[in-house]
Structure 1
């Protein structure tokens, strides 16, 4: 699914599972435009040149992507549809400076996103707090604590996907320590009806074949009311064979989503939008590859390993234009998330002759958000935003490592409650109930100086609280004390930016900003409060919040009558009180937990170039990023491992490169297009102890398209091949240590590769 690329978006790149072309990174520049109704923030010609820009709303105002005060890549929704993007893997790797270590658990905490070397770590399935927030508009979907369920929204019928790099604490609070990914859905339109969709066949080399179907409809009702409905059924073929079960392509996935929206605009001043979204995903068999030779097989799971996730969101967005006083915006949301998994865990105990250990997990999350802000009009040298935000989040998580087939028809006996559960004999259980709250006031003020200069200053005043309990049980957990925490934190996250723009073709800026992050309770309670040979050193019951300071200097230029854009940004950041996942190896069970380990410093440069050549329809995109993210202080892990100062951060490659050449031109009544794209990500490590290497691969994508825009429904046919050379790029690694009595057992490697060579044939339509 290779496509042309551009962050400013004549055309954006797209690919497949970290194997795609790259949109150009944009450089932040200050803006003082007023917040406008969402319908004005669509993809459109915001410049006088041949490179079409995208309008974004990431700074609470609708502005051209080249005029916002943050580093941002924006991908237009229609580009995502044309290129067949299916999930976040299809575009996250196209942006230098941001990487994703994938996991077989997918939406249930399996993905770890890193920006400029700062991201969550993971050991044996235990992950730290997320450092990059994911949002629907301004509503956070990311768990503020840990990483239980983060839905991977289908990118169909979106206005834009906006990827912001650097701390976004002023705008988005604790959910965006060092970046944010915003999904901006299309809102109902009052003045036109619309019906568009597609049908797609997907075939994976050495895997299966299946179809995906999607449709969206917009219906005006009178002059002041409109509704919009969107539905997607996505079937992703499997490609990993479960050898023990003699099942081919066992890891197939089915995901469906529906979205309904109602818009009411009784006057030019009032605009009310209601939205309900529901998404469900199921993976038949959660499998990693257990060999390094590239064979897509697993021989460690005699039993099935299924996982299901669900996401429900209801929201209201009401805006009232008061005139001279500005626009009042009220946003509220209620969301429910859940995950249910029952995984074969034989690889932990098989060496001890126990072939029936399973891991059951059930998660339920409920969250509410409320935000009220006032945005000034843009009719002078001063502009400002003031707002208040409240978030409340609660999760109930229960896990049970049990032995299949050991359930007994016994009457309830208190003495057995700790070791006999509804599923059978329990090796270990954990039940946690964390609650997180954030209360914030924020503001931003921009002043235009001497026509060419702009000074922007802002801050967020916040209070956070994380509380909860963790209770252990089972054969191992009976010797472990319960844990309870109640942490409070408060502070100020400031931001200041100064830019100089003597002409439309040149801009230079400097920005200083701070982000912050929740602390938390350690979920894997499996240790005693003193050092001992059974459970090892004591595990800290909680970990503290962290903060990040980011400094940027950037230059943005336009050449050749705005047909050539060349940008560069330099950054230098410090992550203080950084959170890492650590592990204690002991006789009973490996103990994993999160701790604070000092400071991380990251420096780098990101550059981009987009050129609309004199040959009509031929676009060239190039993007590159270099990053050096290192620990700034030495520390000793609880297991005695030494991590010296200057250690490279996990999931942090030094180099990312991307290039795309695309062409689209009418030939008679036909619109013909094609693209070729390549990306490269250099080597990185999966943990702070450098247990394994990941990435270090390139991927080539090709695309062809044929359309008849003059016919009813504008039918279009596209054919894409991703990962043309069928590379086995590693985007996730791990090693699981089995047990053999009390002496330890063999290590089983785990590999997650980019999706093998994939062919996609898509037929789309658009009536309006």
Structure 2
């Protein structure tokens, strides 16, 4: 029987209102690997000092100052004072106080940035300034949403097959650029960029740090722990060095399940991980720097961070019939060369990203919703297993001016990348084959996907200063992209019941496009270092192929969606002594939005409709005294559907004008109180932080079956550390009030009372850590 004769197997993920992603019981198109395009909404939002400032405990209050912040996400080192746009910079000290560092902590302390937290098993979609159209669900085999690019140094991560819990250690800083960054970063930077910058080898000094920690999580019977090492090894003084980072950790689970067919188990969502990074640096001459790095992470997660309280009557109780583990491995490597001529710096970077994932999920309740074929078997159960391999290689070549004092600054570059994806998904129904008299194997469904993506681009930005007050920046990017996709599927149990030998049915297609993106900004330097700026920018997500049977002529491909972004901002500089206050006001027009629809029972991605995001963001820091500082931020965002899709489309999630975009909170705020105190023999540092996220909706409107309003929540975290000689001790508390907040869900409308669940925040966790420097 052909795939087209089995519509129920091809639309069980089409409730999401963005391009469909492969669910763990179905192989379908996933949004990012196909091309999404010209989304002209790049605005380098406002440079926020709030989290990138450091404190000095030896200054008087009249001497306290905010240290200069260097932004590297602009692909050349640039002072924040020369950057017209919005960027939040997390410095090394703040990062060290986050144990472990999570995307939730980064987003919670960045106004205008939030994540749809799905726990450690699945990737968490990233949302900057409200640009998200897909519904809020489990995000099985999904990615980060395809609208926020993530980089580790200069290694781009593939946006749709991402490790669920990528842990990056030994960081120098993290930068979050808010607003589309299309001219410098191309596709997948529709609404912003998150860039992790690692510590590089020191050519002069030997150093080794050993660290260990133990942790206790509420509602868990287990104890977590981690051990690690960071070692810097000069090989030839001033010429070459290596830096080694090793870490191993176990995280306690807190979800119990009394409904497993294998018997009850506790703390099923435990985690085990190993991380390693080796970095090399060689400077054969002063003008030439060669860097190489290799990153490795292997992580196993036992089950979802989700419970089904309405069914189990237990706020931390799950109801699945099978365990749902995920085992992921990530390897990243890069090599770069930088040569500094008298007036120009030349940089060449080549990188490779490899990601593999194997996982299992309970599919019972979803299939039971399709009637007697499954439910007639009293002992029916089903599980789905998937195996995906993803590689991404990229090359970036660029030239940049070196003289920061010159009135004209410029950057030009060329970029090329290739993505390859191979994966398969199977649905198993134990016992059903024998029940129907087909005693071969209980293989209900098999699907596989192969895809090859390429992107070629040239880009550039140029800044000119007019006197001491004005500077103007113009940027552009020309890109070409190509997507080859093939999907195959078969239904062995159905075929054998009908007397046929199972055979794969394959569909393939190709989509190519090109385009040009613009960026323009102007900045006025007022008195006391304060600045006003205006930014226009464009961004996009690439389009792609829908891989339909040859007899279907319409909607075989979909085009890029794009956005236009306008922003006005103010940065206080030294206008107020010991304080900074930054503000921005923006609007983003999102057009030709990629949405999920159905063509002759096949899920497809179409371009339809438009949305608008309007918002304001505030951020700042106050040095209260010699020893105390207060950092804060707040954001209001109104992201709504402006023009719904035409009724001619068979949409999975039809919208109406004025609908609020799913997963986007209107209100968000954070505040943190930090201190440093020097005593005779030791130094103490503290940080108490609160981050609050407003209500989100899971779909466009209440006419959609899986629509819910998830209440907002507030998390309180605390850190106390003490340095005594070569020893550093710390106590960290996350979610100190033990709030059980729901961050996502899988709805009863498709999965029934037992198959639904709520994804919840990790309960209160207390950790004691120690670090010794040798």
Output the TM-score relative to the length of structure 1.
0.84
Residue 187 (structure 1) shift: 0.9
What CA distance in whole angstroms lies between the structure 1 residues aligned with 2:179 and 2:170? Answer: 27
1:747 Cα shift?
Answer: 7.1
CA contact (8 A) 2:572 2:581 kept: yes
Q: Which residue of 2 aligns with 1:310?
A: 329
Asked if the contact 1:28/1:67 (under 8 Å) is kept, the reply is no
Aligned residues: 692
User: Which deviates further from its counterpart, 470-479 or 298-307?
Assistant: 470-479
1:680 & 1:29 partners in 2: Cα distance? 21
What CA distance in whole angstroms lies between the structure 2 residues aligned with 1:349 and 1:239? Answer: 28
Q: Distance in 1 between matches of 2:746 and 2:554?
A: 22
Change (3 A) 1:157 1:495: same
Corresponding residue of 2:155: 139
Alignment of 1:646-725 (within 5 A): 646-689=658-701, 691-708=707-724, 711=725, 713=726, 715-725=727-737
Partner of 1:566: 581
CA distance 1:77–1:595, change in 2 (3 Å): farther
Cα 1:592–1:359, aligned 2, differ >3 Å: closer, same or farther? farther
Instruction: Kindly state the Cα deviation for residue 420 of structure 1 after the two structures are TM-superposed.
Output: 9.6
Question: Does structure 1 conserve the Cα–Cα contact (< 8 Å) formed by 2:141 and 2:161?
Answer: no
Cα drift, residue 368 of structure 1: 0.8
Instruction: Work out which of the residue numbers 289, 292, 299 in structure 2 matches 1:274.
Output: 292
CA shift at 1:606, angstroms?
Answer: 0.3
Q: 1:287-325: CA deviations, max 9, x gaps?
A: 52112599343443222221111111111110011213x
Indicate conservation of the 8 Å contact 1:348/1:737, yes or no. Answer: no
- After superposition, the Cα gap between the structure-2 partners of 1:119 and 1:193, relative to the gap in structure 1 and judged at 3 Å, is farther
Trace 1:493-572 onto structure 2 (pairs within 5 A): 493-522=517-546, 541-559=556-574, 562-572=577-587
Q: Is the 8 A contact 1:368 1:392 kept in 2?
A: yes
Deviation for aligned residue 1:761: 1.1
Give the whole-Å Cα distance in 1 for the aligned partners of 2:614 and 2:659: 14
Alignment of 1:372 onto 2:397: yes
Query: Counterpart of 1:79?
Result: 94
Q: Does the 8 Å CA contact 2:458/2:479 hold for their aligned counterparts?
A: yes
Aligned-pair distance for 1:450? 2.1
Does 1:575 pair with 2:590? yes
Alignment root-mean-square deviation, CA: 3.1
Distance in structure 2 (CA, Å) of the matches to 1:584 and 1:726:
46
The alpha carbon displacement at 1:286 in A equals: 3.1
Show the counterpart of 1:58: 73
Instruction: Give 2:248's aligned residue.
Output: 233
Q: CA deviation at 1:543?
A: 3.1
Summarize deviations over 1:309-366 as a string: whole Å, max 9, x none: 1111111110011213x01100001221111112222232457245431101010111
Q: Which moved more, 1:134-143 or 1:686-695?
A: 686-695
Q: Which residue of 1 aligns with 2:226?
A: 212
Unaligned runs of 5+ in 1: 1-24, 31-40, 409-415, 531-537, 740-744
CA–CA distance in structure 1, aligned partners of residues 275 and 546 of structure 2: 33
Mapped to 1, the partners of 2:590 and 2:746 lie a distance apart of: 25
Identify the match of residue 186 of structure 1 among 199, 213, 229: 199
Change (3 A) 1:127 1:677: same
Q: 1:488 to 1:560 in 2, by over 3 A?
A: closer
Q: 1:407 to 1:366 in 2, by over 3 A?
A: farther
Q: Do 2:44 and 2:84's aligned partners in 1 also have CA atoms closer than 8 Å? A: no
Please point out which of 382, 394, 398 is paired with 2:408.
382
- For 2:650, the equivalent position in structure 1 comes to 638
Q: CA deviation at 1:510?
A: 0.2
> Taking structure 1 as reference, are residues 354 and 491 closer, same or farther at Cα in structure 2, changes over 3 Å only?
farther
Structure 1 position 578, deviation (Å): 1.4
**Aligned-pair CA distance for 1:156:** 2.0
d(CA) in 2 for partners of 1:529, 1:652: 39
Deviation at 1:479, TM superposition (A): 11
| Partner-residue secondary structure (3-state), 1:451 | coil
DSSP-derived class of the 2:275 partner:
strand
Output the CA distance in 2 between the equivalents of 1:661 and 1:105: 28
Shift of 1:67: 3.5
- 1:333 pairs with 2:351: yes
C-alpha separation in 1, matches of 2:532 and 2:339: 35
**In structure 1, C-alpha distance between the alignment counterparts of 2:304 and 2:616, rounded to whole Å:** 37
SS of structure 1 residue aligned to 2:330: strand
Cα offsets for 1:183-209 (capped at 9, x unmatched): 111111111111124211111110131
Which residue number corresponds to residue 222 of structure 1?
236
Check if 1:609 corresponds to 2:620.
yes
Specify whether residues 652 and 471 from structure 1 end up closer, same or farther in structure 2 by C-alpha distance, changes over 3 A only: same
Secondary structure at the aligned position of 1:266 is classed as strand
In structure 1, C-alpha distance between the alignment counterparts of 2:69 and 2:96, rounded to whole Å: 16
Q: Structure 2 stretches of 5 or more lacking a match?
A: 1-42, 57-61, 370-374, 496-501
Counterparts in 2 of 1:678 and 1:301: CA distance versus 1, 3 Å: same
